[in-house]
Amino acid sequence: MKLAECISKDGKLLLVLLAIPILVQLGLCYFLGGVYIENIPFGIANLDNSSLSRTIVQSFENHPGLDVNYYAVSEIELQDAIKAKKIIGGIIIPNNFSQDLSQKKMPKVILLIDGTNLLLANNAQGYSSAILGTFNAQFQLNIFEGKNMLPQAAKQAMAAFAFKDRTLYDPQLSYMCYLTYVATLLIIQFFYLIIYLLPALIEEKKFLANDKISLKVLILRGKSLLVRTGTMWITICISSFTGLCLCGRIYSLPVRGNILAYFILMIIFLLALTVMGLVLISFLNKQNYTYFVEFYSIIYTLFILTSGAVWPEYMMPAGFSQVVKCIWPYIHVANAWKYLSLKGIGWDILWPYIRNGLLFSIAWLVIAIFLHAFKIYRKKKNPLAN
Alpha-carbon distance of 258 to 264, in angstroms, equals 10
* Strand-by-strand arrangement of the 89-93 sheet: 66-71, 40-46, 89-93, 110-113
What's at 211, amino acid-wise? D
Q: Is 386 part of any domain?
A: no
Q: Which of helix, strand or coil describes residue 382?
A: coil
Q: Are residues 206 and 240 both part of a single domain?
A: yes
Q: Which of helix, strand or coil describes residue 274?
A: helix
Alpha carbon of residue 208 to chain centroid = 40
Alpha-carbon distance of 124 to 114, in angstroms, equals 9
Q: Is 164 part of any domain?
A: no
Among residues 135, 158, 181, the one where a domain terminates is 158
- Each residue's pLDDT, cut to its tens digit, for the chain (386 residues) gives 555 665 667 778 888 888 999 999 999 999 887 656 778 999 999 998 888 889 889 999 999 889 999 999 888 999 999 999 899 999 999 998 888 877 777 888 899 999 888 778 888 888 998 888 888 777 766 665 556 666 666 565 555 555 667 778 877 777 788 889 989 999 999 999 999 999 989 988 887 766 666 667 777 877 888 888 998 999 999 999 999 999 999 998 899 888 999 999 999 999 999 999 999 998 888 889 999 999 998 888 888 888 888 788 888 898 898 999 999 999 999 999 999 998 989 999 999 999 999 999 999 999 999 998 888 778 777 765 55
Number of structural domains found in the chain? 2
Among residues 133, 158, 183, the one where a domain terminates is 158
Identify the CA nearest to 173 among candidates 185, 165, 164, 162. Answer: 165
| Residue 339: half-sphere exposure toward Cβ, Cα within 13 Å | 17
What are 382's strand-pairing partners? none
- Pinpoint the alpha helices (H) of the chain: 3-9, 11-32, 51-62, 75-83, 97-102, 118-146, 151-158, 175-189, 198-208, 215-251, 259-280, 289-298, 302-305, 320-327, 330-343, 347-381
Q: Is 145 part of any domain?
A: yes
Alpha-carbon distance of 136 to 74, in angstroms, equals 24
Q: What is the CATH number of the domain that holds 128?
A: 3.40.1710.10
Let me know: does 201 contact 62? Beta carbons within 8 Å: no
Alpha-carbon distance of 197 to 201, in angstroms, equals 6
Identify the CA nearest to 185 among candidates 237, 248, 245, 255. Answer: 237
Q: Are residues 78 and 181 both part of a single domain?
A: no
Q: Is 125 part of any domain?
A: yes
Number of neighbouring beta carbons within 10 Å of residue 204:
15
Q: Are residues 184 and 83 both part of a single domain?
A: no
Let me know: does 9 contact 229? Beta carbons within 8 Å: no
Q: Is 306 part of any domain?
A: yes
Q: Is 167 part of any domain?
A: no
Q: Are residues 143 and 237 both part of a single domain?
A: no
Alpha-carbon distance of 127 to 119, in angstroms, equals 12
Alpha-carbon distance of 368 to 386, in angstroms, equals 17
Q: Which of helix, strand or coil describes residue 112?
A: strand
Q: Are residues 44 and 23 both part of a single domain?
A: no
Identify the CA nearest to 177 among candidates 254, 244, 266, 257. Answer: 254
Let me know: does 375 contact 282? Beta carbons within 8 Å: yes
The whole domain housing 243 covers 3-31+173-381
Q: What is the pTM of this model?
A: 0.80
Q: Is 166 part of any domain?
A: no
Query: For 281-338, how does the pLDDT look when each residue is reduced to its tens digit (9 = 90+)?
Result: 988 888 899 999 999 988 888 888 888 887 888 888 988 989 999 999 999 999 999 9
Q: Are residues 49 and 9 both part of a single domain?
A: no
DSSP for 3-55 reads HHHHHHHSHHHHHHHHHHHHHHHHHHHHHH--SS---EEEEEEESS--HHHHH
Q: Are residues 257 and 316 both part of a single domain?
A: yes
Q: Are residues 224 and 75 both part of a single domain?
A: no
Among residues 128, 158, 188, the one where a domain terminates is 158
Q: Is 163 part of any domain?
A: no
Q: Are residues 77 and 131 both part of a single domain?
A: yes
Q: Are residues 201 and 287 both part of a single domain?
A: yes
Q: Are residues 130 and 206 both part of a single domain?
A: no
Q: Are residues 146 and 273 both part of a single domain?
A: no
